[in-house]
Amino acid sequence: MGKPVRVLCVGGSDSGGGAGIGADLKAVHACGCYAVCAVTAVTAQNTRGVQSVFPVPPKWIAAQLDSVLGDIGADAVKTGMLMTPQAVGAVVKKIERYRLKNVVVDPVMIAKGGHPLMTNRARQALVKKLLPLADVVTPNIPEAEFLARMKIRSVEDMKKAAAVILDLGVKKVVVKGGHLPGRKTQGIVDILYDGKQYEAFAAKWRRTNNTHGTGCTFASILASHLARGENIYFAVEQAQSMTARAIQDALPLGRGHGPVNVLGIRQEN
């Protein structure tokens, strides 16, 4: 057996197992990679929403990162929930110190139920300090609206927002279209922009209430394929198709938004 492909997942825990680090680990495993992690916040959470959040002190975030990066290392990094500017700063320092590559930033700002997962100062730190180190950022529509400072109501708006976000210093932008109004009959479109051209990735709209963890799953699959040495276009295609299958096989748990299900799913060759 050759050396395992390693993906570092940085984000919050989800006690309900649907999103955050739990979703990341499952998605990385589904791609045939080995996941290591650093927990940035502990949430009391279920399918109905987030009841409480405890931010992990930045020195403990840094200690986790030093432990895994100083020994195991990482071929790619996926960041998720970074609630405070201090958490952002701790991650930025380790990305720079260890010269990490294939950095995928999922700018997790608000939980599906509406609970804020980043302070305003943390959002500012993410824009100024983390995005310039990122190879890819994967905002959904509300997150892209914040980053681009504009309303997004069409695929053309998604493209305009991607160009604005790219100017923040990130190398590539994937604006996910699942929240775009009026797409239920036309299907979902995700837009990739690399600074030179736009690429649209289309998928069918799936009627379900069980979509918890889609963003984490998408970004972790994307990071895993970059870690495997694959190009960004194939990585985004796999992220979209595997996430779509995870939504199709979502688990009807709890009384709210059930989790997507990547168990048993493997990447396409």
The active-site residue out of 78, 94, 129, 176 is 176
The active-site residue out of 211, 217, 243, 258 is 211
The active-site residue out of 216, 217, 243, 258 is 216
Active site residue 204: no
Token pair of 163, please?
A: 């160009």
Cα dihedral 12, 175, 170, 28 sign: positive
Active site residue 211: yes
- C-alpha distances (whole Å) from 129 to each of 40, 43, 68, 100, 235 are 17, 25, 22, 15, 25
Active site residue 213: yes
The active-site residue out of 18, 80, 177, 215 is 215
The active-site residue out of 43, 84, 119, 214 is 214
DSSP letter at 132 equals: G
Active site residue 93: no
Q: Does residue 7 contact residue 33 with C-beta atoms inside 8 Å?
A: yes
**Residues in CB range of 248: below 8 A, 6 or more apart:** 206
The active-site residue out of 33, 213, 217, 258 is 213
Query: Strands 188-193 and 172-175: what pairing?
Result: antiparallel
Enzyme catalytic residues? 176, 211, 213-216
